Amino acid sequence: MLPLRAPLKNNLTHDLETTFLALVKNASAYLPAESHDILRNTYEFSKHAHQEQLRAGGDPFISHPLEVAKILSELHMDLATLQAGLLHDVVEDTTVTRDQIKSEFGNEVAEIVEGVTKIDRLESNFTEPSHTAPSRVITEQAENWRKMLIATAKDVRVIFVKLADRRHNMETLGALRDEKRRRISEETLNLYVPLAQRLGMYSIKHDLADLSLKYLEPEVFDKLELKMKTIKVQQETYLKSCVGKLEAVLKPLDIPYRISARPKSLHSVYRKMVRQNKPFEEIQDLAGIRIITDTVEHCYALLGAVHTHFQPVKDSFTDYIAIPKNNLYQSLHTTIEIAPGEIVEVQIRTEEMHSVAEFGVAAHWRYKLGDKTSTQGKIDKVEAKMDWLKKTLEWLEESQDPREMLEGLKAELEFDQVFVFTPKGEVKKLPLGSTPVDFAYEVHSGLGDQCVGAKVNDKMVRLDYQLKSGERCEILTKKGQHPHKDWLDFVKTPRARSKIKKYFKQLS
């Protein structure tokens, strides 16, 4: 359905110009000066295409693509992606065609816009109220997500625009009916939030999670927001004290560093309350501290100083520098007792790691003046790191059960991971709860099919044993062995489940 139509008012036009100038200011930090005129031309084109259209809340429709582009500029996205953000609705909601976009702004921009347009058309099938049977709704949703991931695999910038689009839509959900708000929020929390995390785009992830909580659990959200505001001054004083104690230890090292501290998101606090079964008042680490330095060597030196002077909480240390997450995230994580009975989480990373932590794979599209690396080179680098998406598409193509596909997709997007070593020292990253059978199929489908047993750290274990980070797993095989149906009762990964089912399907 096309947006409503009405003339733009002067004060609204002023607000739009203010937002556009904020977009340009953001882009000025990393794009060359000549990009400003290109952004202006793209914005004026989009504004003309959307002229007189209104959003459901009564705002000029152009305000939405403008805000989407501004969000993308905060993520330091390249020029083509910013342009696509400004243009992402013109093919769907106006008479402008893809060929016109290509002619005016080039094929790169046109392809990103086309990818977002396809996703928008698919989503419209299941965001409107439906009296369709639940099984059919699940089938349609599964197929929509399959196609969206295929579009993402072609150019991951499509999903960058879509995530920015979803964030602004979540910010303006108040104008919609309660039923539709809840449906969009559920999808956002179940799929878009973990997808943003899988891409390492934590700022978007936290925003989407908090906004989802606002509409799915409004009373919980309001109470938490009030409590966080109530303790804000106290929290700021506490964090300032923590930073002071850390600096007293770190300054004598003569290592360059900077420290930042900020409270955790409402949704992350809420999850911790649920997971620990504790009220808000008993949650200790409501904020985190980041120590950012220049080299990996200095990261470990700073960690050593922190652990020397402050007692680390047992089993709290994780080294994501030595073993990065699948979304390229790297950092040292530890929780320390900063004072008797007071604990705080500390993350230590380099400036480059911090950029990836903030922007995820989007960080690799950032331009800098004098940067000799080509855009295509950066794209190739990121795509080489996104094997998980290719593997996901493999089992998406094989899966025949839509309900199972959606559940498998959610499992694949979960980001609680274990890091398990092969006998040769290669690291395999698996979802928390994975078993030796999952590990075998992760190494090779043939290894999984012929699996008869497993050793973990040289000791025999059951095939349903849940692997832990740092363990070494050796798969025992036997020629002529084949998968067992009861493996489906405990395997965790969609890949293993898909391969096992495929084997039995071929027998029938």
387-507 architecture in CATH? Roll (3.10)
Report residue 394: phi and psi, to 5°.
-60, -50
CB contact at 8 A, 264 and 288 = yes
What is the CATH architecture assignment of 231-363? 2-Layer Sandwich (3.30)
User: Which residue in this structure is represented by tokens 């040292």?
Assistant: 332
User: Strand, helix or coil at 283?
Assistant: coil
Read out DSSP for 182-193? HHHHHHIIIIIH
For the record, the structure tokens of 18 come out as 């203010």
pLDDT at 283: 76
Distance from C-alpha of 347 to C-alpha of 211, rounded to nearest angstrom: 25
CA distance 430 to 350: 26
Predicted confidence at residue 7, as pLDDT, reads 41
Half-sphere exposure of residue 91: CA atoms within 13 angstroms, side-chain side: 23
User: pLDDT-based confidence at 38, cuts 50/70/90?
Assistant: very high
CB–CB of 461/454 below 8 Å?
yes
Concatenate the DSSP letters of all residues of 236-252 into one string.
HHHHHHHHHHHHHHHGG
Give 210's pLDDT tier (boundaries 50, 70, 90): very high
Domain boundaries, the chain: 4-216, 231-363, 387-507
* Collapsed DSSP state (helix, strand, coil) of residue 207: helix
| Cα separation, 496 vs 437, whole angstroms | 7
- Side chain identity at 322, as an amino acid letter? A
Residue type for 247, please?
E
Please identify every residue annotated as catalytic.
92-93
HSE of 204, CA atoms in CB hemisphere, 13 A: 35
Q: What is the mean pLDDT of the chain?
A: 82
User: In this model, does residue 138 exceed pLDDT 70?
Assistant: no
Res 428 pLDDT > 50: yes
> What is the token pair recorded at 429?
């990253």
pLDDT band of 399, cuts 50, 70, 90? low
Q: Which of 60-64, 93-97, 141-145, 153-157 has the lowest mean pLDDT?
A: 141-145
pLDDT average, residue stretch 214-237:
88
The tens digit of pLDDT for each residue in 355-394 reads 888 777 666 554 333 344 444 544 454 554 555 666 666 6
> Residue 150 — φ and ψ, nearest 5°?
-65, -40
- Cα dihedral 44, 47, 48, 50, rounded to 10, equals 160
Q: Which residue has the higher pLDDT, 73 or 52?
A: 73
- Sorted by sequence, the CB contacts under 8 Å of residue 41 that are 6+ apart come out as none
CA separation for the pair 30, 355 (Å, rounded): 13
3-state secondary structure at position 463: coil
Q: Where are the alpha helices (DSSP H) in 172-217?
A: 178-187, 193-198, 202-216
Please state, in angstroms and rounded to a whole number, the distance separating the CA atoms of residues 86 and 27.
14
Going by C-alpha positions, the residue among 151, 99, 100, 101 that lies closest to residue 121 is 151
Q: Give the CATH number of domain 4-216.
A: 1.10.3210.10
Q: In this model, does residue 267 exceed pLDDT 90?
A: no
Structure tokens at 189: 């929390």
Percentage of the chain surpassing pLDDT 70?
78
Count of other CB atoms within 10 angstroms of residue 184 = 21
Q: How far apart are the first and last CA of the chain?
A: 46
How high is the pLDDT of residue 374? 46
pLDDT of residue 414: 59
Q: What is the DSSP string of 350-385?
A: EHHHHHHHHHGGGGGG---TT--S-HHHHHHHHHHT
* Section 124-144 average pLDDT: 52
Q: Helices 387-398 and 494-507 meet at what angle, rounded to 10?
A: 30
CA 486, 146, 444, 327 dihedral sign is negative
Exposure of 196 in the CB half-sphere (CA atoms within 13 A): 26
Show the tokens assigned to 14. Answer: 């002023």
Kindly state the tokens that stand for 92. Answer: 């769907």
**Which range is least confidently modeled, 235-249, 344-358, 376-390?**
376-390
What integer is the mean pLDDT of 45-51?
93
pLDDT at 328: 74
pLDDT value of residue 424:
87
Model confidence at 4, pLDDT cuts 50, 70, 90, reads very low
**pLDDT at 139 exceeding the cut of 70:** no
Taking residues 174-197, what's their average pLDDT? 86
pLDDT > 90 in the chain, percent: 41
